[in-house]
Structure formats: C-alpha cells, structure tokens
Amino acid sequence: MASAASTNMNAVRETMDVLLEISRLLNTGLDMESLSICVRLCEQGINPEALSSVIKELRRASDTLKASENSTSQG
C-alpha cells in the first residue's frame, strides 16, 4: 500500500513539474505554489478562464498600486 501511495505521489510531482515547465514556457509568471493553488481550484470546479481573468486583474491592480507608490515616494 505504501508503494502505491509513493507511486501516486511521484506521479503528482511529475505532473506538477510538467505544468510548471509549460507555465514557464508561456511566461505566466506563476511559481510552483501559485500554480498548485490554481490547479487545486480548477480541480474543485473553478472555471479556468475566470481564474485567469482574476489573476490578470489582480496583477493589473498590483502594478497600478506599485506605480502609484513609486510616484508618491519620488515626488
């Protein structure tokens, strides 16, 4: 039984490694932890396109906030 669990864990790790490589090739900017969270959300039934839209919007908001902070600290 431990062997089956070990085999399954190796398969999961290998799958995540492949997904991370694809993510890097597509320049998503997701690290392993973020990618794992996205995969788990999709497995729970979250729409991948909606998840992608939320991530893009959060990045835009973060960039805007950083730009705003930079302009106020320089001026």
Question: What are the DSSP calls for the chain, one per residue?
Answer: -HHHHHHHHHHHHHHHHHHHHHHHHTT----HHHHHHHHHHHHTT--HHHHHHHHHHHHHHHHHHHHHHHHHHH-
* pLDDT given for residue 75 in this prediction: 61
* pLDDT given for residue 74 in this prediction: 78
Q: Where exactly are the structural domains of the chain?
A: 1-73
Kindly give the confidence (pLDDT) of every residue in the chain, 75 residues in length, as a single tens digit, with 9 standing for 90 and above: 578 888 999 999 999 999 999 999 999 999 999 999 999 999 999 999 999 999 999 999 999 999 998 888 876
* pLDDT given for residue 35 in this prediction: 96
